[in-house]
A and B are shown apart, each in its own frame.
Chain A
C-alpha cells in the first residue's frame, strides 16, 4: 500500500464519445435556470437530476454537467464529493446507512458496521458485485435514543445488534415501512 500512487494524468474511464446528458436531461436541468442568479448556482439541482436519471453521477457526467453550467470539472467534483448523498460509482438497490454520530458510537456502531462489512464483504461507500447492497455511514439520523441505528433506503432500524444483521438483511421487505 505504502507506495501506491494514484495517477491523475489518466482519465477515470475512457469516454466512448457518446454524450450522457441527453437533450431531455439538459432540459430538466435548464428548468432551474430562472430560479437562480447564475448558472453555476444550478450545480446542486443538476447533480440531483443526473443522479435521479442514472442512479449515480459518473466522472463523464460530471464533465458534461461542468460544460453545460460553465463550471470547471474539478469544481463539480469538489462540490459533489462534499455530499455523501451523491454516488460516483454504482449504487446498490438497497443502501444501508449506519449512523456514526456520538450516541450510536457509544452504543456500538463500530461493531455493527464491522458485522455488515463482513456479511456483505464490502467496505464503506462500496456496492456488492450483484448490485443489491451498498454500505455507507452518515452523521446523526435523528434517532439517538435508539442507538445504534441504521437506515435501509427509507426505513429506520433501531437498536441493531451485530447478530441481528443476518436476520434483517434476509427480509426482502427490510427497506419498506
Chain B
C-alpha cells in the first residue's frame, strides 16, 4: 500500500498503480484520452499532465518537478504529492484542448457520439468556447475501415486506443497510424480491413465520434436510450453487458466492465446477436392443438395434460427438458411444476449448441490462462446453472442424448420441452425420437416442427424480456435484469411458470432465488461487478 497526496487530499492505493488511475478511481475529475486500463500505456494525448513532488534521488529532499508529468505513466509511490488543479496544469489542459479542436469539424449535431463524447465533455469543462484559428481547417477523408465500422478521421484525437486494441487484444493488427504529426491518420491496409471478431470494441473505446458502428449509425440519439444491465446469452463466457433500448426496441449492446469475466470487451457475435428478438417469426400466443387459445385456457390445459400422466407410476413416463438458455429460476420453477404433478419425472438438461472450439484472443494463442478474451464453443449461457438445479432437485435425471435414446424406445408418455434458441435447433434425429412421445408440451421462441405437432405450444420470451440468473462456464452466477416488456400477447416464461407453481402476484427473480438458496449452492454468491469510474471501463 502507498499513500499519495492528490490536490492536498491523502489517498491510499496499491504501490505502482498509475497515478491517473488512482486519481480517477478516487473521484478526481482528470481529463485523459489515451490511457485505457486494458491497453498498454503510451502517454501520447498529454491531457492528463500533473505537477508532482517527489524525493530527489540525489539529496533525498522532496521537490516539485520543474515540468508537468504525464500521470498515466507515473506509478504511484508512497509519499508522493501531485496536483491536478494548479494554474500550470489548468493552462496545459486548455492548450491541449485548443489543439484538439483546431481542425475538428464541430459537427456534433450530426455526430453519433454526441452525448457520450469526451471531446464535448472536456471542452465544456477544460476548453474554450471560441477558436482563435483563422486558417482553413484540414479536411480529412472518411474511411470504411471494415464491413461494420466507419472512421471519421476529422473527429479523431489520435489517442491510438483503437490501434493498440487491434494489436494487443484482438491480435489481428488491422489498424495503424499513417504518416505523422498533423498529417497523421488512422488507417487500415487497403484490402485488409478491420474484420476481427472483437472489432466492435474499437467503437466503444474511441473516446470521440471517430469510429462509428455502421449498425447503430444515425439510429438513435444516445440521450433517448434507456440502459438495462444484462448478461450476454451467446456463449458460456457470460459477458456482462448493457442493453441500450427505448420504446420496446433494442438499439445496441455494449460491454459492462467485469474484471472477473469479460474485462472491458465483448465479441461481435454477442454485440450484434440480438436481432432475432425483433423477428416477426416469433411464437406470440399459446396454441392448443394448433389453435390459438387464451393464457387461462393454455395454463389449464397444461395442468390437465400433466395430471393424468403424473398419476401413472408416479409420473415415470414424464420428462422435462430444461434448456440451457433458461435462467436458473425458470428451470427451477418448471422442474417444480412438473415434479408436483409427476414426482418421478425425469429432469433433462436440454440441447447444448456447440461450435468446434473455443476462440482465444489475441488470435493465435493456445494457452487459455494467457488469453485476454475467450469466445467459448458452448453457445448457451446456462448449462452449468441448469445442471446445478437438476442436481439439487435429485430424482431421475438424463442427459439430452440419453433422453432422446429413451424417447426413441417409447419410454415417455409426456414430455415438456423448452427451446429458446435463436436459431433452428430441432434436428431430424430429435424430431424422430420425439415422435415416439405421445404428448408434447413445447415452450419456445420460434415455431418448429416440434411446436407444430405439440399438444400445447407456449411462447417463450427472449432473454432481453426476462430476468434471472445465469451460471457461466466457471461457475460464476450473474443476475440479469429485464430490458423490454414481452411482446404483445406473450408473458414472461417465469411469470406463467410462477402461476402454474401456485404462486401469487408478479414474478421476481429474487423471490424465487430465496427459495433456491439452501438447495443450489451455486446461487449463494451472486456476482455483480462493481461500477467503475468513468473511462476506466
Which A residues are closer than 8 A to B by beta carbons?
1, 3-12, 59, 62-63, 72-75, 77-78, 81-82
Inter-subunit contact B174/A10 (CB<8 Å): no
Nearest CB of chain A from residue B170's CB, rounded to whole Å: 12
Nearest CB of chain B from residue A41's CB, rounded to whole Å: 17
Which B residues are closer than 8 A to A by beta carbons?
139, 141-147, 150, 173-180, 187-194
Question: Which of B142, B143, B150, B188 interacts with A74 by CB under 8 Å?
Answer: B188
> Which of B147, B180, B191 gathers most chain A CB within 10 Å?
B191
Question: Which of B147, B175, B176 interacts with A9 by CB under 8 Å?
Answer: B147
Question: Which of B139, B142, B174, B180 interacts with A82 by CB under 8 Å?
Answer: B180
A77-B176, A78-B176 known; A8 vs B142 contact (CB < 8 Å): no
Residue of B nearest to A80 (CB): B178
Nearest CB of chain B from residue A3's CB, rounded to whole Å: 7
Inter-subunit contact A62/B178 (CB<8 Å): no
Nearest CB of chain A from residue B210's CB, rounded to whole Å: 14
Nearest CB of chain B from residue A32's CB, rounded to whole Å: 23
Complex: how many Å from CA A72 to CA B190? 13
Inter-subunit contact B173/A72 (CB<8 Å): yes
Complex: how many Å from CA A168 to CA B187? 38
Inter-subunit contact B142/A6 (CB<8 Å): yes
Residues on the A chain within 8 Å of B187, using CB = 8, 74, 77
Inter-subunit contact A62/B189 (CB<8 Å): yes
Inter-subunit contact B189/A59 (CB<8 Å): yes
Residue of B nearest to A11 (CB): B191
A9-B191, A12-B190 known; A74 vs B139 contact (CB < 8 Å): no
Complex: how many Å from CA A8 to CA B192? 7
Given contact pairs A8-B188, A8-B192, enumerate 7 new A-B contacts (beta carbons under 8 Å): A5-B141, A63-B189, A74-B175, A74-B188, A74-B189, A75-B176, A82-B179
Inter-subunit contact A9/B141 (CB<8 Å): no
Inter-subunit contact A73/B189 (CB<8 Å): yes
Inter-subunit contact B173/A8 (CB<8 Å): no
Inter-subunit contact A8/B139 (CB<8 Å): no
Residues on the A chain within 8 Å of B139, using CB = 1
Question: Which of A6, A78, A81 interacts with B141 by CB under 8 Å?
Answer: A6
Residues on the A chain within 8 Å of B193, using CB = 8-9
Inter-subunit contact B144/A7 (CB<8 Å): yes
Residues on the B chain within 8 Å of A82, using CB = 179-180
A74-B174, A82-B179 known; A3 vs B146 contact (CB < 8 Å): no
State the main secondary structure of chain A at its contact with B: mixed
Complex: how many Å from CA A15 to CA B175? 21
Question: Which of B150, B180, B189, B192 interacts with A5 by CB under 8 Å?
Answer: B150
Residues on the A chain within 8 Å of B141, using CB = 4-6
Residues on the A chain within 8 Å of B143, using CB = 5-8
Complex: how many Å from CA A10 to CA B143? 11
Residue of B nearest to A84 (CB): B179
Inter-subunit contact B190/A10 (CB<8 Å): yes
Question: 18 pairs across A/B with beta carbons < 8 Å?
Answer: A3-B142, A4-B141, A4-B142, A5-B141, A6-B143, A7-B143, A8-B143, A8-B145, A8-B188, A8-B190, A8-B192, A74-B176, A74-B187, A77-B178, A77-B187, A78-B176, A78-B178, A81-B179
Residues on the A chain within 8 Å of B180, using CB = 81-82
Complex: how many Å from CA A59 to CA B188? 12
Nearest CB of chain B from residue A77's CB, rounded to whole Å: 5
Complex: how many Å from CA A11 to CA B192? 7
Inter-subunit contact B189/A77 (CB<8 Å): yes
Inter-subunit contact B190/A59 (CB<8 Å): yes
Nearest CB of chain A from residue B186's CB, rounded to whole Å: 10
Complex: how many Å from CA A59 to CA B178? 13
Residue of A nearest to B194 (CB): A8
Complex: how many Å from CA A73 to CA B180? 18
Residues on the A chain within 8 Å of B175, using CB = 74
Residues on the B chain within 8 Å of A63, using CB = 189
Nearest CB of chain B from residue A34's CB, rounded to whole Å: 27
Residues on the A chain within 8 Å of B142, using CB = 3-6
Residues on the B chain within 8 Å of A8, using CB = 143-146, 187-194
Residue of B nearest to A62 (CB): B189
Residues on the B chain within 8 Å of A74, using CB = 173-176, 187-189, 192
Complex: how many Å from CA A10 to CA B191? 4
Nearest CB of chain B from residue A170's CB, rounded to whole Å: 31
Nearest CB of chain B from residue A86's CB, rounded to whole Å: 11
Complex: how many Å from CA A127 to CA B289? 77
Residues on the B chain within 8 Å of A1, using CB = 139
Residues on the B chain within 8 Å of A12, using CB = 190-191
Inter-subunit contact B192/A73 (CB<8 Å): yes
Complex: how many Å from CA A1 to CA B141? 8
Residues on the A chain within 8 Å of B191, using CB = 8-12, 59
Residues on the A chain within 8 Å of B144, using CB = 5-9
Complex: how many Å from CA A11 to CA B144? 13
Residues on the A chain within 8 Å of B145, using CB = 8
Residues on the B chain within 8 Å of A10, using CB = 190-191
Q: Which 10 pairs, one residue from A and one from B, show the smallest C-beta to C-beta distance?
A: A11-B191, A78-B176, A72-B173, A12-B190, A74-B176, A81-B178, A8-B188, A73-B189, A9-B193, A74-B189
Complex: how many Å from CA A140 to CA B500? 83
Inter-subunit contact B150/A78 (CB<8 Å): no
Complex: how many Å from CA A73 to CA B143? 18
Residue of B nearest to A124 (CB): B183
Complex: how many Å from CA A31 to CA B286? 76
Residue of B nearest to A9 (CB): B193
Residue of A nearest to B191 (CB): A11
Residues on the A chain within 8 Å of B176, using CB = 74-75, 77-78
Nearest CB of chain A from residue B536's CB, rounded to whole Å: 28
Residues on the A chain within 8 Å of B177, using CB = 78
Complex: how many Å from CA A49 to CA B28? 52
Residue of B nearest to A5 (CB): B142
